[in-house]
Structure 1
Amino acid sequence: MPASPSTARAINDRLALRLLQQEGPLTAGQLKQLTGLSRPTVADLVERLTASGLIAVVGEAGEQRRGPNARLYGIVADRAHLAALDVRTEGVAVVVSDLVGRVLAEASVPIDGATGTGSAVEQAVRLVERVVKEAGADRLHTVGIGAPGLIDPATGELRVSTGLPQWHRRLVAALQERLPEARVSVENETNLAALAEQRDGAARDRDTFVLLWLGHGTGAAVVLDGTLRRGASGGTGEIGFLPVPGTAALPSATDCAGGFHSLAGAAAVAELAGEYGLAAEPADPPAVGLVRAAVTAAGAGAGEREPSARFLDALADRVAVGVASVVAILDPGCVVLGGEIGHAGGTVLADRVQARIARMSPLSTEVRPGLLGGGAVLRGALLTARDRAQDELFAPPER
């Protein structure tokens, strides 16, 4: 059955808006060419979107051209302002952007573990308010938050976890209270990192892949056939709890010590480097600096028996245990080593892990380094906030 005129108009409008988002300002003629719509249809949608305040004339195409056909139309970027938060155990980072994703202001603040819940929440909320003011935004339309831990798939709320600060859960409610007009949502940090790597990073050509997060903690995000999989309880990818050989005990329901985290978390990586006599650069977090220094030494032609090379081999052995488990169950074809440590390891670490997986598994698997590092969480939170805002603002008005 053919679409009704109103439905067809809504489809055409959203198509044009998405093209303007992806391509930047376009003329009506360029919209006609890219959409395949007729000239009158494009003229009508341009008039509708302009009247609704979603697009405006932002310039003209070509130095010599003038007139209606030369007008460049672009999305009205300040129609809505968005915020993204990366909430870590040790602090929070905030970025504020306009509707097209242009960053207007950003900042971060460390939060000491000994800080009380109320004080920690107040620090984080004040940071958001300060960055919003610096961005010149009157209010926020959408706020996306990335946080460690499980997100309840039924409620979208961060679940209670004994391993995380209480202020993480209180922060979402506090932001909603202080920013009553904003749509506030929270997502697992590793899931957001995977979405960012798929849109802007190492997995842009993959509909199916797994991102293995290697940072302060460990985690995994699973994308199958283009869809992020969260699991029945929101726990897909809690690989830190995976029982693995080489640890002193088994993990428990409340503590991942003894699981994969004990092999590949930042503290374990720093301890492993110490066994090879390596020292970290003071400017970096210890594990990140140690991996980066070892990779630099390997790139400078350090022999295979040099401490840096042997450390990278030992680290690859550990990481391969987690990757092999993921590959055996999901067969994703591609695993991205994300997080600060995965990014620092680059292709040197990824190639070592891939070589080990080729020996351990009959399933062909490409191992790639993440391109966005620790910034992937903030980028993913901003992308999801922008998508949510655009879905609402670009939706046809109810009749």
Structure 2
Amino acid sequence: MAADSRLARRINDRMALDLIAAAGRLSRTQLREQIGLAQPSVIDLVNRLLDAELIRVAGESDERTRGPRPQMYAIAGERAYVAGVHGSTGAIHAVVGDVSGWTSPTVSIPDPRLQDDPAPQVEAAIDAAFAAAGLAKHPLTAVVIGTGGAIDLSTGDIGHAPGLRHWQAHFIAPVRERLGCPVHLEREITLAAVAEDRFGGEESPERFALLWVGDGLGISCIDQGVPFRGFWGAAGEIGYLPLPSVGPDPAPPHTFQDLAGSSAVLALAHAHGLSDPTAEGAVRTAVEQGCQPFLEELADRLALGLHAIATVIDPGNVVLSGSTAAAGGADLAERVEAALASRTWQQVQVLHAKYAHGEEAILRAALLLATEHGRDAVWGRAA
């Protein structure tokens, strides 16, 4: 019976903390109404969370009442700070927050490839994020780092990241040692999919595959909020997907990256008379000017890869994201859907991302997951 009571308290405490975090602040009456506990139990719950320093008094209710206005309670965010980090080929980006949901400004520091040891640079980026928020450096409870390439789920380390020379195997241990807290790695494509799922609005489907089309290609599948990572953590590395040649040239089979990575898109754009210096710029110009042949050929290339993917995973919904796809917007998504429909009997809706296009989405998702790890770590201290 004692064990059952402790379990019930833990469940109620976590529910109350989640509700307060989502609302910003709640009164005891509001907690009672939402949790369904009797008033004495809610009083005991609030006192327990106050004693554990997991919540704090946050003023009084704004509602007019006959008697004294009820006290409001908020998450004591300063009890646990967390950080989200993203390593790209151009910089390390970082943002810090706490378990209440507070977030610092985003900061960036120069190219990580200049450092043989990336751990000091990860720490420097996090320190800069604290400084940007006007805070002294605080101990961290959890950090999530987004990286290109694959994550080895058996070790939690980087399995393969060709674009980041020094972000390779044995990366995680020195970073954890330097930061002094749990550090979790996630594929940047997975983070983009999480961002689209959590922040893309009510129109985002519950199940979808996010296809990232930018410098590289990647895909991440979300099923009711849960990303699929694969057995070893390499699910979605579709840049290596072998595909047949396109056009009349009987060349050896290409990879999907050869057909639809940014270099290939830029070469295709130049072949169609578009002189923009970047792939996303060329796609944006093509949409604005109605350059049908280029857009149709690009859509067909994307559909070729998606046909192979849809045959295996049957996603139902595909969300196009990344810099190149973002430049094409709804126009490119509609063309890809039509091109895919001409190739397969499967019904696949192709959408353009509502939220997850660039750096900010990846960082925000990294911080969100770090916040969830931090809450799991510190919100078990009550009861």
How high is the TM-score relative to the length of structure 1?
0.86
Deviation at 1:161, TM superposition (A): 4.9
What displacement does 1:365 show? 1.6
Q: Is the 8 A contact 2:89 2:163 kept in 1?
A: no
Alpha-carbon distance in 1 for matches of 2:26, 2:169: 43
Over residues 124-162 of structure 1, what are the superposed CA-to-partner deviations in whole Å (9 max), with x where a residue is unaligned?
432222223333142222111000112111111112455
**Offset from partner CA, 1:167-224 (integer Å, 9 cap, x none):** 45565344323222x2211111111111111111268643321111112111111223
The answer on whether the counterparts of 1:142 and 1:184 sit within 8 Å (CA) in structure 2 is yes
Equivalent residue in structure 2 for 1:323, among 301, 306, 309: 306
Q: 2-side partners of 1:225 and 1:179: how far apart?
A: 32
Over aligned residues, Cα RMSD in angstroms? 2.5
Paired residue for 2:363?
Answer: 378
Note the alpha carbon deviations across 1:208-258, whole angstroms, 9 max, x for none: 2111111211111122354322222221111111111236444xxxxxxx3
Residue matched to 2:78: 78
1:274 and 2:274 correspond: no
Name the CA distance, whole Å, in 2 between partners of 1:288 and 1:2.
61
Moved more, 139-148 or 122-131: 122-131
Residue equivalent to 1:127: 125
Contact 1:97 1:105 survives alignment (8 Å):
no
Answer with 204-213 or 368-377: which moved more.
204-213
Q: CA deviation at 1:334?
A: 0.8
Q: Measured at CA, do residues 183 and 112 of structure 1 come closer, stay the same or move farther in structure 2, by a change above 3 Å?
A: closer
Structure 2 residue matching 1:268: 3-state secondary structure: helix
> Using the alignment, how far apart are the partners of 2:23 and 2:319 within structure 1?
27
Percent of aligned positions that are identical: 38
Mapping 1:46-61, distance limit 5 Å: 46-61=46-61
Q: CA distance change for structure 1 residues 249 and 92 in 2, over 3 Å: closer, same or farther?
A: farther
Q: Which residue of 2 aligns with 1:255?
A: none
Q: CA deviation at 1:266?
A: 1.4
Q: Is the 8 A contact 1:196 1:379 kept in 2?
A: yes
Matched, 1:234 2:233: yes
Q: Report the equivalent of 2:256.
A: 260
Distance 2:235 2:75 in 1: 37
Query: How far is the alpha carbon of 1:289 from its aligned partner?
Result: 2.2
Match of 2:158 in 1: 158
Distance 1:15 1:397, change over 3 A: closer
Instruction: For 1:4-23, list aligned pairs within 5 A.
Output: 4-23=4-23
> Aligned partners of 1:169 and 1:140: how far apart in 2?
23
In the alignment, the residues of structure 2 paired with residue 318 and residue 130 of structure 1 have an alpha-carbon distance, to the nearest angstrom, of: 42
1:293 maps to what in 2?
Answer: 285
For 1:76 and 1:293, the matched residues in 2 are separated by 49
Aligned positions of 1:300-379 closer than 5 A: 302=289, 306=290, 308-370=291-353, 371-374=355-358, 375-379=360-364
Letter in structure 2 aligned against 1:237: G
Contact 2:161–2:168 (8 Å) recurs in 1: no
**Counterpart mapping for 1:113-262 below 5 A:** 113=113, 115-118=114-117, 122-135=120-133, 136=135, 137-161=137-161, 164-169=164-169, 172-180=172-180, 182-201=181-200, 205-246=204-245, 248-250=251-253, 258-262=254-258
Tell me the TM-score normalized by structure 2. 0.89
Distance 1:2 1:275 in 2: 74
Question: 8 Å contact 1:332–1:365 — kept in the other structure?
Answer: yes
Question: Given residue 286 of structure 2, which amino acid in structure 1 is its aligned partner?
Answer: A
Quick check: 1:393 aligned with 2:344? no
